[in-house]
Amino acid sequence: MTPVALFPMTPGLCHELYRGWQNDPAICADPARFRPFRYDPDWVDRYFARQQTPDRRYFAILAGGTVVGELLLKRIDRAAGTCALSIHLQNDSVKNKGYGTRAEKLAVAYAFDRLGLRAVLADAVKGNARSRHVLEKAGFAPCGEDETFAGYRIEKPEP
């Protein structure tokens, strides 16, 4: 099994990720707005800079040392003990290999053990069965939905 790790995202890793990026229509909430991705170094620099805020942790997902995706813990609220998880894999060649599930489990452990949080929230486009399946495999439970998104939550186990 290929080892999976989370590594703090760097500008170089972000560019490596997005040079091989393909947008996935399955995660587009409005299919009419779907557009193929075109690598633009200036856009990647701006995107990376936007992730550098105190209420976020931005990780590269590495599989066997190669960047295959990104994972963000965002809206970190230490007072409430919560954050939101967002994950995206680079393209279809790295999907269905367990990388997303393992990355989500690592991120949840980081949120609980390193950040001291009590719950991690996530959502998925309702029609994105793959994303919903990955969240459930990682231990998230459904916690509501609206017309577009299905919400998920995982709680830190009591000692």
Which uninterrupted H or E stretch holds 111? helix 99-113
Q: How far apart are CA 29 and CA 22, in angstroms?
A: 16
The average pLDDT across 113-134 equals 95
Q: Which pLDDT score, from 0 to 100, does residue 33 have?
A: 86
Q: Which pLDDT score, from 0 to 100, does residue 102 have?
A: 98
Q: How far apart are CA 9 and CA 106, in angstroms?
A: 15
DSSP 45-100: HHHHHHT-STT-EEEEEEETTEEEEEEEEEEEETTTTEEEEEEEESSGGGSSSSHH
For residue 1, what pLDDT band results from cuts at 50, 70 and 90?
confident
Q: How far apart are CA 128 and CA 28, in angstroms?
A: 9
Q: Which pLDDT score, from 0 to 100, does residue 38 have?
A: 96
Rounded-to-10 torsion of CA 5, 69, 102, 62? -20
Q: Which pLDDT score, from 0 to 100, does residue 122 have?
A: 98
Q: Which pLDDT score, from 0 to 100, does residue 64 have?
A: 96
User: Strand, helix or coil at 43?
Assistant: helix
Going along the chain from its start, the domains and CATH numbers come out as: 4-155 (3.40.630.30)
Q: Which pLDDT score, from 0 to 100, does residue 34 have?
A: 86
pLDDT digits (tens, 9 = 90+) for 33-71: 889 999 999 999 999 999 999 999 999 999 999 999 999
Contact 51, 104 (CB under 8 A): no
pLDDT digits (tens, 9 = 90+) for 101-111: 999 999 999 99
